Amino acid sequence: MDADFVRVIEDVIDTLIKTQVIRLTDLPEAAQRKLNQRKGMRSRLHGALDLIGRDDGIL
């Protein structure tokens, strides 16, 4: 499956959860674990990129 398509599906699931159409616990446990793992990885990666890409204008 295409990585971009997987991300779209994750975003759709996140939107459904945020709008309370579904709950994370409505999904199978394996899907819950996978979504939480991927969300954690993105969060850590985003935090690492913030440290690298930060430009405060201080030399």
* Structural domain includes residue 51: no
* Structural domain includes residue 8: no
Note the pLDDT of residue 1.
Answer: 73
Instruction: Quote the DSSP letter at residue 24.
Output: G
Range of the domain at 36: 16-43
CA distances, 9 to each of 5, 6, 35 (Å):
6, 5, 10
Instruction: Find, among 28, 21, 42, the residue nearest to 12 by Cα.
Output: 21
Note the pLDDT of residue 46.
Answer: 79
d(CA 24, CA 52): 32
* Structural domain includes residue 39: yes
Query: Higher confidence at residue 3 or residue 54?
Result: 3
* Structural domain includes residue 21: yes
Task: Please tell me the total count of domains within the chain.
Answer: 1
* Structural domain includes residue 49: no
Note the pLDDT of residue 47.
Answer: 76
3-state secondary structure of 43: helix
Q: Name the pTM for this structure.
A: 0.69
- pLDDT tens across 9-50, in order? 999 999 999 999 999 999 999 999 999 999 998 888 877 777
Note the pLDDT of residue 29.
Answer: 98
* Structural domain includes residue 4: no
* Structural domain includes residue 11: no
* Structural domain includes residue 34: yes
**Distance, CA of 17 to chain centre:** 13
